[in-house]
Amino acid sequence: MAEHDTSSAELDRLIAELRARGHRITLPRRWTLKVLLQEHRHLTCEQIRQRLEEHGIRVDEATVYRTLQWLKQNRLVAQTTLGSGADVFAFPGDPPHHHLICLSCGSISELDDALFAPLRETIRAEQGFVPHIEHYSIFGLCRACASQESAGEGQSV
């Protein structure tokens, strides 16, 4: 289908790269990657399992989870929590995207990846650890909720 040309060319390219690195590409691996590339949004493990089933690939959630972890090791999926129970997975952006999540009203906004550059450098320099900060969620209070909270503290309401 025409509208899928870009993502299917991209899928073929990524799969060729994985094969060149000696990986075996099973149907669940191929389709999980395909679903993530095509949908361009957050999906839970269970939602991905459902998409695979719609395409006739019947695997359990544990298999999908293992597949996602394998993709994560290959930096082809970014995992995070949005505070709603199940972790969500997305194809990593370039640059990656991150989230600010309000614990009071539940609003979610995006955070610029440039903020993480000094953190990556410091961790690498001080610990020799190479962090994959690809999809990070920071919980707290949004501007509106924080100002309400401080108003409440002063009991001015």
Which residues make up the interface to Zn ion (CB under 5 A)? 102, 104-105, 107, 142, 145
C-beta of 56: minimal distance to Zn ion in Å?
29
Nearer to Zn ion, 67 or 79 (CB): 79
Q: Which residues of 37-63 are buried (b: 16+ CB within 10 A; e: fewer)?
A: bbeeebbbbebbbebbeeeebebeeeb
Nearer to Zn ion, 45 or 142 (CB): 142
C-beta of 126: minimal distance to Zn ion in Å?
27
Whose structure tokens read 């996602």? 68
β-pair type (98-102, 108-111): antiparallel
Nearer to Zn ion, 30 or 97 (CB): 97
CA distance 94 to 99: 15
C-beta of 27: minimal distance to Zn ion in Å?
26
Which positions ≥6 away from 58 have C-beta within 8 Å? 52
Nearer to Zn ion, 119 or 144 (CB): 144
C-beta of 71: minimal distance to Zn ion in Å?
15
